[in-house]
Structure 1
Amino acid sequence: MLSQRGHSRELAEKARRENFPVASRLLPRRHRDHLMAVYGFARSVDDVGDEERPDDRLRLLAEFETDLARLYDGQVPVLRPVRALARTVQECSIPAEPFHHLIEANRRDQTVTRYETFDELLGYCELSANPVGRIVLHVFGETGGDHQARSDRVCSALQVIEHCQDVGEDYRRGRVYLPQEDLRRAGCPAVHLAAAATSPGLREVVAVQAARAGRLLAEGEPIVASLSGFARTAVAGYVAGGHATLAALRSARYDVLARTVRPRRARLLAEWTRVLMTMRWPGAGLQRLPSA
């Protein structure tokens, strides 16, 4: 088992591979610590759902759920990622529900491996991605107004973008997150997802999902203007990561099998600056959200 220092280094390295700055050094230490505690929990649960022996996954996920119950009952958790949440949960008054939803998303991954429509995929994002944004809002004490709905748009967009990047990796794990109706419409059978190069049909399907994610991101982006202080800086970084990754997908012409598509740091920084400058004032870019 890794030491605490080794575990922290491994977690930091995983965070650096994300599309967006998980806990930027532009933020105060207390916020970085809280965000890394949340990331550590989410990453650990995802790793259980993806990397442990299939026969062990549901049992291990149940252990996380039991340990969360310990934490919220005022007991000392057993699992390191849950113990690391204790101060964050207490200081930021974070409810248990979004953490349980993250566990449920990984439980669903063990039995649901295909999604017929994009709306069904968004239903999965309600468990796998949106809870993270809601937790982040608690970290910064920004839970009022339209924040939650706009955060959900941003988080769903980021999840769909990641699915676009990881088509081959997901398929090797037995999962297809690209909507089945879109794959059929493009004449793209499952065998295309295992190829060494991305077929024209598969590129078309990835491009459709990327466009949908872009619209979700645009709908959620005005949250930046409605936030204050360091919350605005952090969330602008997440939005910028989405835009930078969409740019990388376009630049790669949606070829997600022959190469690893990741955002360029320079593009991320440029997008981060743009989002902050564009969304400087409350109300900037705000419009009525469409119904979910």
Structure 2
Amino acid sequence: MSVPALVDSHCHLDFPDFADEVDDIVARAASAGVHRMVTICTRLREEPKVRAIAESHPGVYYAAGTHPLNAADEPLATVDELVALAKHPKFVGIGETGLDYHYASDTKGNQAESLDVHIEAARQTGLPLIIHARDADEDIGKTLSRAHGEGAFSCVMHCFTAGRTLAETAIDLGFYLSIPGIATFKNAGEIRSIFADAPRDRLLVETDSPYLAPVPHRGKRNEPAFVANTARIMAEYLEMSIEDFAALTSANFDRLFYKAAASNGGAD
């Protein structure tokens, strides 16, 4: 039986959880139908390592930025620095960046300053902004709305688990919502309903691996192959075939991450 082609729009292949296993991780993903993925750098000093992973695997692309949880500990990125990194052919997005008040409410100022830098870099490069938001719905919504009004940019709300108001704000701004493994959890009915109510041409699917493994792997280390589990469960919930869901989310990925789509005709 053929496996529909899927894309993991957000993973972290450079994290210690995958040490010395990246080749096997990528091979298992391909066997599950996940032929393309974006590995995310969360500290700019780690960018060379993340870039090397992308360079070593045809179907792996990368993005780089300063994660909000690292905003107070890392040097403030500059727009010029991010724009320069974006010249690499496999660099396809800016971030992840954003606001996290769950674990780091005491660094709100650092996070906001860093976020503004990443937004401007997304504007200047034309690459999508990759947003992490946790327990900061109101502030992230206001910030993104204000910034978009000052100059448009594209964006994905990665691992979306926030409230309906933020989802609607993001959709109104033309942004995308990325479905994580959390959406497969039994108690995630409200999150699933938000995805069901969103325009289908704004949906992506991701693992955020090594975190947040979907059912039936919940509680274990996540990896890109498991995006197939999330896709199958969400396809059933949305009353779509897995083939149609895979085609939909892949087309949405290609539209947003246009630089990856342009590589080898959009498929590696």
- Tell whether the structures are fold-level matches, with TM greater than 0.5: no
Structure in which a larger fraction of residues adopt helix = 1
Larger Rg over CA atoms: 1
TM-score by length of 2: 0.31
TM-score by length of 1: 0.29
Structure in which a larger fraction of residues adopt strand = 2
